[in-house]
Chain A
Amino acid sequence: MTDDELTASRRDILKTGAVAGVGLGGGSGVLSTLQPADESGEAVDQVTSFLGEDQVVKTACGPNCRGDCPLDVFVRDGQIKKTEQQVPAASEFKRGCTLGISHVQRAYNAKRLKYPMKRASWSPDDPQPGARGEDAQFERISWSEALDLVAEQIQTTKGEYGPESVYWHAGSGSQGTSGYGRLKQLVGGIQDSFVYGIDTNVGQGFNRITGEGGVFMPPTNTVEDWANADTLIIWGSDIFASQFQMDAEWILDAKRNGAKLVVVDPMYTNTAEKADLWLPIRPGKDTHLALAMMNYIFENEVYDDTFLRQRTNAPALVRVDDGTLFDPTRVSDNPPDGGIVVMNEETSEPNVVGAETGGPFALFGEWTIDGVAVRTGLAALREQASEYQPADVAEVAGLSVADIKTAADWLATRGAGGILPAYSVGRYLYGHVFGQAYATLMALTGDYGRHGNVHAQHPSYGGPSLQTGDWGNPEGGVSLDTYGYQEILSLLENGDPVQPRFLYGTNSNMLGNQFPNRERWLNAMESLDTIVWADMYHTPTTQQADIILPAAHWFETEDVLGSDHHPNIRYREQAHEPLWEARDDYYIMAGIAERLGHGDKFPDDKREVLDRFVQNDDRLSWEQLRENGTVETDETPTVAYTDAFGTESGRITVYDDDAPTEKGPGLPDEGISLEVPEPLEARTADDWEAQNEYPLVFMQKHSKWRIHSQWANVPWLREVNREPQLDIHPKDAEQRDISDGEYVLVHNDRGSMVVRAKYNEGIQPGLVNTDQGWWAEDFVEGHYQDPISAETADVGRTFAFYDCRVEVERAAEEYQSNQYTQDNPRGTAGSASGGD
């Protein structure tokens, strides 16, 4: 409520009151909310015919599924009626999923956040953080009051405790132009980052030895090129469930062209069902398998020797005594930057060579140079791989020897190959070693820089980035200290090195989704005096907030968006104004900026900002965006890794002489150095200390019914996927006297949850699974994050969601009757109860 509105409503109420008291002055005298059309000037949202013409609004979906799907929204009489996939300018990227076409139920969810609110027990002078939680009560406040409070709290917090006590948190829940990044640079403070903390294992392992990519999935050939693959290994990803709207179809194209599809997964998934060869691996044994495949490749000499000589440091000479690379200056007075010493087989002399240089270099062998014993890096790798005979690994990993060999053989000998991991293997504590292992495996088979090579389950496109000028880096902005998520917890708990006091959170339902060991976070957050949260829905995370800001649904905003995963720049036309008092995030940011003296950096009208983007980018015109919804960017299918690698040598370091030493649970105190891939395991290890007490490994896979925790509150989807369940093999269930459909207690020494058991013949005995993304209120008791440790390893620094062991037992009788089994589930469960 703005002040104006308050005045208006007060006047209206008095008018109505007067009517009730003194009699009806006229036909319309009882009206306050309604008014005669002739007084309203231009009729707004006038209902004409219900069968009126559809207006097709071009817009776009924008969660973190990487689909970047352009959508058509059909609006009739001012209301959104349905959503369809839009045919974009680059039409082969027409896409959209069950979730995208369910948006009408997100926009019109009766439990959307409607008005700004503050926790009733919170006040600037007496924040009472202990009163947060399930029982917290809220009261509606006006936008001006809410923004005043946020701005004042930022000011006071900075004044009292210094700028680093202002903590900015953003998840990945929404794409769009909000000005969030701009504002935080103008205001200062600290920020958190996925780097490190969440899903940063596989990518960093790959990056360490290739110098390519970051901590998430590495670059890969664009999807149009996937059809050229001869072998595809989907490793720990259910792409046909989690990315079926976009990347899965290209896999089928490859298959139709004759590619062999291998799926490595402990669960018989939608994706495993499509495989020519399914490797039902035991949880945590992925690096073992990669090494066994390398073993096969060495033994059968089916490695790509040309590639190894030219583009990797396989021929680099390594000192036998300390494992370091032989010093180039001992061979050449003027060695090239990053040059490696190799043994020239023709001259039997050591040479120093730079990047991208092949030649008759020995791949194996031992020599003594200047009295120093050396061997090749590849020899060290081969020695490591020799420890992982397929027969042994088959036993450890629960696989057949023949299948291991077939997978390796297909990858090495059938032509262009690809390995498509996702983030799952990185959800083990030491999952980065798998990143190193598969990057190394693909180096052996020469699968970089060729048509048909695939290195990740989703491709990235650089072209459709928006050219936003200085929008992301405003003049006068400061850079903020960044802490990985795994560090934030200790900041909150220990105040070291800084103690956050004020938190602005957006695009995120971390307490409902990606913060392991939930109780620890809830306690740690009591050190915050003020928590401000912007969202479309009331999530388990906004329940912890002191000030709640209702954000607009995507269809209620106007925006211009790049696309990371297909060559279309997308336009969002506004389907209608935000409902109730929800607001575009931009207006929230601009409102705070104005109050903090940065109003000049945020034009009143967001359109002005978008206009700058469009004017700034030769490829774009408003006309084209509005007409088509998308603008195709000029990109031809690209092959990744055609140039020198980003490592110091420009080569893939199949032998990493500069390897870090990993330390953490299950490892010797001195740690393990990772020159070559070494399978490291924590809780999945066969000899893990608590494995008898907690024998089952607990995984939380992505499902096709949610993107992270979004869409959990959509009735159409809840009709099919009603409640959190535990996939459990009937064998494991029967051992525990658990019948199909009974409620079970899943627990370990950290926490527990109660969910319904779902017999699944396709899940490996010894493994259980609850799909991720359920909200706290969806559980009969507890939450799937409760049993998961928030501990991270020295090198990995990544939350290990799947590195979790639990025991499962039939839940107590009182839980067998609950919100899902009672006749009237309204309010706690069922389709409309919310929860994301």
Chain B
Amino acid sequence: MTENTPTATDHSTGDPRPSIADTFGTLAVCWREPSEGWVDAIESGRFEWLDGVETFGDLDELRVEYTRLFIGPGRDQCPPYESVYRDGADSDDLGPVYGPTTQAVARWYDEYDLRLRDSRSAPPDHIATELEFAAYLSANEDDSVLEQFLNEHLREWVDQFVAHLRENDPGPFYRALIRRTTEAINS
């Protein structure tokens, strides 16, 4: 850890402002597929500062929504991978997974000796994984490194991704998550 590692939120003192690492770490969790463990984490109250995340409602319904929006199979899906929004033929088309930008992200992880826990289950440029990495950088590196990563990656595609998402009628939880995520990466 470097000298200027941000400190974590201290709920006991009531400081409402989380550290940058907390923010990205928490957002990463929220972008994962909802499960019971996930609900426990959300309900633990640790994410209170993230307005609206407790609005997820019924877990089963949220899982159906998550499937519809991020997994498919139907036409509403918005695959949450960077290359899909950056490596397509033009900005209006969904690009491939495992495109050149996927490689570029993987190189960042590699640079920090990080590996995907399950390399085959999903491409490494999933929004949650990138946010998790952003949390890692902010916890361990100078701000400039985080800035560089945000500039090279998250800021390059998340706007397009969420625009696509908004067209497909996300519910209150994902609307809140979109808002908090774009604020976090653009601040």
Contact = CB atoms under 8 A, between A and B. Distances in A.
Interface of A: 5-6, 8-14, 16-17, 19-24, 26-38, 40, 43-47, 50, 77, 79-80, 104-105, 108-115, 117, 120, 136-140, 538, 542-543, 548, 576-581, 715, 719, 777, 823-828, 830-834
Contact of A138 (B22, B40, B67, B93): B67
A13 B128 CA distance: 12
Contacts of A8: 117
B122 interface: yes
A77 B98 CA distance: 11
B3 interface: no
B171 interface: no
A624 B82 CA distance: 41
A139 B129 contact: no
Given A10-B36, A110-B79, A117-B73, A826 B94 contact: yes
A38 B40 CA distance: 30
Contact of A37 (B46, B60, B72, B113): B113
A7 to B, nearest CB: 9
A111 B79 contact: yes
Given A110-B81, A110-B84, A543-B73, A581 B121 contact: yes
A6 B35 contact: yes
16 contacts: A20-B18, A21-B46, A27-B140, A33-B126, A33-B128, A34-B129, A34-B133, A36-B114, A40-B115, A44-B116, A44-B119, A79-B102, A111-B94, A114-B72, A139-B63, A826-B94
Interface in B30-59: 32-33, 35-38, 40-41, 44, 46-47
A38 B41 contact: no
B49 to A, nearest CB: 10
A10 B120 contact: no
Contact of A46 (B10, B68, B110): B110
Interface string B80-123: 01001000110011111111001100110110011111111111
B59 to A, nearest CB: 11
B114 A113 contact: no
A120 B64 contact: yes
A13 B38 contact: yes
Contacts of B136: 27-28, 30-31, 34
Contacts of A16: 25, 28-29, 41, 132
B26 interface: yes
The 8 A-B pairs of least Cβ separation, nearest first, read: A10-B37, A23-B8, A538-B73, A17-B41, A832-B94, A21-B46, A108-B96, A30-B135
A108 B115 contact: no
Contact of A139 (B64, B120, B128): B64
A107 B115 CA distance: 23
Chain A CB within 10 A, most for which of B25, B81, B99: B25
Given A24-B139, A26-B1, A117-B73, A33 B129 contact: yes
Contacts of B128: 33
B83 to A, nearest CB: 8
B96 A46 contact: no
Contacts of B22: 19-20
A825 B121 contact: no
B14 to A, nearest CB: 14
A721 to B, nearest CB: 14
B37 A14 contact: yes
Contact of B29 (A20, A23, A24): A20
Nearest to B168: A827
Contacts of B118: 5
Nearest to B41: A17
Nearest to B65: A137
Chain A CB within 10 A, most for which of B77, B98, B140: B98
B69 to A, nearest CB: 11
Interface of B: 1, 5, 7-11, 18-19, 21-22, 24-26, 28-29, 32-33, 35-38, 40-41, 44, 46-47, 60, 63-64, 66-68, 71-77, 79, 81, 84, 88-89, 92-99, 102-103, 106-107, 109-110, 113-123, 126, 128-129, 132-133, 135-136, 139-140, 164, 167-168
Nearest to B33: A140
Given A16-B28, A40-B115, A31 B96 contact: no
B179 to A, nearest CB: 18
B113 A38 contact: yes
A105 B96 contact: yes
A831 B99 CA distance: 16
B94 A77 contact: no
Contact of B98 (A108, A113, A538): A108
A110 B37 contact: no
Contacts of A831: 88-89, 93
Nearest to A81: B98
Contacts of B94: 110-111, 826-827, 832-833
Contacts of B10: 23
Contact of A543 (B71, B74, B79): B74
A112 B123 CA distance: 13
Contact of A9 (B21, B26, B35): B35
Chain B CB within 10 A, most for which of A33, A105, A114: A33
B154 to A, nearest CB: 15
Contacts of B68: 137-138
B178 to A, nearest CB: 17
A44 B40 CA distance: 31
A748 B52 CA distance: 52
Contact of B46 (A10, A20, A110, A826): A20
Contact of A34 (B35, B66, B114, B140): B114
A185 B47 CA distance: 54
A726 to B, nearest CB: 24
B129 A20 contact: no
Contact of B44 (A17, A34, A577): A17
Contacts of A115: 71
A17 B115 contact: no
Given A28-B136, A715-B93, A832 B37 contact: no
Nearest to B61: A120
Given A580-B121, A580-B122, 13 more contacts: A10-B36, A23-B7, A23-B8, A28-B136, A32-B29, A43-B115, A50-B103, A110-B81, A111-B73, A114-B72, A137-B64, A138-B72, A579-B122
Contacts of B77: 111
B37 A579 contact: no
Contacts of B98: 79-80, 108, 579
A137 B60 CA distance: 12
Nearest to B96: A108
Contacts of A43: 115
Given A14-B40, A17-B44, A50 B107 contact: yes
Chain B CB within 10 A, most for which of A5, A43, A832: A832
Contacts of A824: 92
A113 B79 CA distance: 11
Chain B CB within 10 A, most for which of A24, A29, A37: A24
Nearest to A576: B120
A29 B139 CA distance: 9
A561 to B, nearest CB: 24
Given A44-B115, A45-B119, A114 B95 contact: no
Contact of A111 (B40, B72, B113, B132): B72
Contacts of A22: 8
Given A34-B129, A538-B72, A826 B103 contact: no
Nearest to A539: B73
A543 B92 CA distance: 24
Given A45-B119, A108-B99, A548 B37 contact: no
B150 to A, nearest CB: 15
Nearest to B94: A832
Contacts of B103: 47, 50, 77, 79
B75 A828 contact: yes
Contact of B75 (A12, A140, A578, A777): A777
B21 A30 contact: yes
A45 B106 CA distance: 10
Contacts of B93: 715, 825-826, 830-833
